Chain A
Amino acid sequence: MIPSLFRIFVIGRNTLIEAVRQKVLSVLLIFGLILVGSSVYVSTIATPGLDAAGLFDEQIKFVKDFGCGAIELFGFAIALLSTAQLIPQELHNRTVYTILAKPVRRAEFLLGKFFGVILLLALAVMLMTLAFAASLYWQETVGFNYVRDIYDQHMPANWQNNPQMAAQYHHDIQDIVNKVQDPQLIKAILLLFAKMVMTAGIALLISTFATSSIFTIITTFMIYLIGHMEGMAREVWLARGAETSIWQSGLTGLISLLIPDLNSFTIVDEILAGNHVPWAHTLNLLGYAEVYLVVLLAVSIIIFDFREI
C-alpha cells in the first residue's frame, strides 16, 4: 500500500514540476491584472444610497463577485486544459512506455498524473486566493475612508462626540469589516476548488477513451454546462408520470444518473451575498464531490487498464 502511494506521489510531483516548468501558472498573471483592474474600476463608482455602509455594498459585492468569479474561471480553465492533455501527451510522447516498463501499475500511473493536476490546482487557487485577499483588504481601506468622508460631509461637525452618531459610525465600519473579512469566504474557496477538481475528474474520464484532446475539452465543457441544469432535469425526471414522453424521461433520466449537480455549488453566491451557510452543508457538498470523484477515478482506471497503448 505504502509503496503504491509513494509511486503515485512521485508521479504526481513530477507532473506538477512539469506544469510549473512549462510556466502554466504564468497565466495567473492575467488573473492578477484582472483583479487589480476590476478593483480600481469599481472604486470609481460611487452610488450613494440610504445609509453610508449600504452604499459601499455594491463595491464590496463587485470585488467579491469578481474575485471569486475569476478564481472559478481560471481554475476551471487550468483544470480542464491541464487534465485534457495529461494522458494524450504521455501516449503521444510515449513516455508512458518507460514508466509502465517499471514496476508501476496503470492505476498508479493514472492516479499519479491526476494527483499532479490536483496539486497544480491547489497551488493556483492558493495564489489566486492571496491576490483576492489583498484586493479585498485594499477595498476595505478604501471603504473606511469612504464612510468617513460621507460622515464628515453630511453629519454636523464634531459628530464623533455624539454617542449615537459615533455608534452608528462604528456600526457602519463594522458592517464593512464583516463583509470583507468574512470567514465564510474560506468555504466559498473550498467549494470552488471542489468544483474544479470534479471538472478535472470528468476530463480525466473522457480522456481515457477519447482520441484527441480537443474532443475531451469540448465534451467536458458541455458536461460542465449540462451539470448546471442537472438539478432541473432531475426534478423533471423524478416527477415523471404516464404522460411524459420516452424521449423526455430518457434524456432527463440519463442526465440525472450520470451528470453531477454542479449547480449546487452556486451556493457560493449565498456566501458571497453574506448569508450564512453552515459548515455542515459545506462539508456535505465537499463529501459529495469527493465521492463522485472516487467514482470518476474508478471508472477511469477501469477504462485505462484495458486501453491499448
Chain B
Amino acid sequence: MGLTKRYPLAWKRKLLVALDHLDLQVRPGEVFGLLGPNGSGKSTTLKLLLGLAVPTDGEARVFGLPPDSLEARQRVGFLPENPYFYAFLNGDETLRFYGKLCGVTGSKLEKRIEELIDLVGLQNGRERPLRSYSKGMLQRIGLAQALIHDPDLLFLDEPTAGVDPLGSAQIRDLILRLKKMGKTVVFSSHLLEQVQEVADRVAIFSLGKKVLEGSLDSLLAESQNTQINVSGELTAEQQEKARALLGQEIRFSRPHLSLEQLYLRTVQGLPDPTPAQNSRRS
C-alpha cells in the first residue's frame, strides 16, 4: 500500500549536487525519519517525492506511481517546513480550499474540517486569518491541510521546528496516532530527540549523500550491553548481590528524565513518566 521504491536519484544545480545517488525505500505503515544538517538533501528528497522537482538521474516512485501523477498526489499529504499558505484566508477557508483541491467537497468536507480542527486544536483560531497565527498554530493548520483528504502517506518537513515543547509533544503524539491508523509517515528533522521517539527507521544525510540507514533499534542499540530497569533504589548490598549474580561489569546509575519530560510534567501536571519511556520501544 504505502510502498515506495526509489532508485538512484541525483539533482544537479549548476555544479551543486543537491542529492547524490540516493537509494531509499520506505515500507508501508512505518514512520521514517530523515536526519541531517541543513543543506544535506533532506528537503530535496521530499521535493522529489512530491513531484515538485524532477530528478536528473534515476526515478522516484510513490505507491508504484510517478510522484507527480494525480493518483499518487491524491494519496499523499505534505506539511511544508514553512507556512506556504495564503495568509489572507482564515483557518476554515484554508482547509476548505485545499480540501476542494483534493476532491473533498460538500458535507463530507465540512465534517472533515470539524474533525481536523478538533484534532489539531485550532477552535479559537479558525475564524482568524492565517497572518495572525503563531508559528505553532501555523504548524497545526499545516497538519490539518495535509490530512484533509485522508492520505495514506504523509511527508512532514521539520514538523516541530519553532514549536514550543507542548505543541511538539502533541505533534509527536499525532504521528504515533497516525501510525496506529496504518498510515506511513516520512518526516525530516534535526531535532534528534524527537526523531528518536517516533521513528521506526531513519536515514542520515550528509552533503547530499545518504550516509546511514536502518531501524533505530539496530542503529542505536549498543549491542554489547544490556540495560535492566529496576523500580526503586537499590541498597549497596543489593548492588553487590547483583554484581555477584551477573558476574559482569555493572554500572549503576539513576535513570534520567529527559528535559522534555520534566518540562511537560511541570507545565501540564503529568504524572512522572517511567524511565522505560526513555528507551526504544521495539
Contact = CB atoms under 8 A, between A and B. Distances in A.
A101 B88 contact: no
Contacts of B76: 101
B138 to A, nearest CB: 12
A22 B87 CA distance: 11
A98 B98 contact: yes
Contact of B78 (A3, A11, A14, A98): A98
Given A10-B97, A98-B98, A309-B52, A105 B70 contact: yes
B276 interface: no
| B interface residue count range (under 10 / 10 to 19 / 20 to 34 / 35 or more) | 20 to 34
A104 B73 CA distance: 8
Contacts of B102: 102-103
B80 interface: yes
Given A10-B100, A101-B52, A95 B88 contact: no
Contacts of B170: none
Contacts of A98: 78, 80, 84-85, 98, 145
A7 B102 CA distance: 8
Contacts of B52: 97, 100-101, 309
A98 B54 CA distance: 17
B151 to A, nearest CB: 10
Interface string A101-118: 111110000000000000
Given A6-B100, A10-B101, A98-B78, A93 B53 contact: no
Nearest to B86: A95
Given A21-B88, A22-B88, A105-B70, A99 B82 contact: no
B76 to A, nearest CB: 7
A170 interface: no
Interface in A14-51: 14, 17-18, 21-22
A35 B149 CA distance: 49
B51 interface: yes
B74 A103 contact: yes
B88 A102 contact: no
Given A95-B84, A308-B53, A103 B73 contact: yes
Contacts of A14: 86, 89, 97
A102 B148 CA distance: 10
A171 interface: no
Contacts of B145: 98
A148 interface: no
A104 B97 CA distance: 12
Given A94-B80, A98-B78, A103 B101 contact: yes
B50 interface: yes
Question: Which of B51, B74, B89, B101 has most chain A Cβ within 10 Å?
Answer: B101
B132 to A, nearest CB: 14
Nearest to B103: A3
Nearest to A102: B101
A101 B54 CA distance: 13
Contacts of A10: 97, 100-101
A101 B149 CA distance: 12
A101 B50 contact: yes
A103 B70 CA distance: 5
Contact of B88 (A11, A18, A97): A18
A94 B51 CA distance: 15
A100 B70 contact: no
Contacts of A309: 52-53
Contacts of A97: 50, 52, 78, 80, 84
Contacts of B84: 93-98
Most buried by A among B71, B80, B86, B102: B86
Given A94-B80, A101-B52, A102-B98, A18 B103 contact: no
A279 B54 CA distance: 49
Contacts of B53: 308-309
B1 to A, nearest CB: 18
19 contacts: A6-B100, A7-B101, A10-B100, A11-B101, A14-B89, A93-B84, A94-B82, A97-B52, A97-B80, A98-B84, A98-B85, A100-B52, A101-B51, A101-B77, A102-B102, A103-B70, A103-B73, A308-B53, A309-B53
Interface of B: 50-54, 70-71, 73-74, 76-78, 80, 82, 84-86, 88-89, 97-98, 100-103, 145, 149, 155
Interface of A: 3, 6-7, 10-11, 14, 17-18, 21-22, 93-105, 308-309
Given A101-B73, A101-B77, A103-B101, 16 more contacts: A7-B101, A10-B101, A18-B86, A96-B84, A97-B50, A98-B78, A98-B84, A99-B101, A100-B51, A101-B155, A103-B71, A103-B74, A103-B103, A105-B70, A308-B53, A309-B53
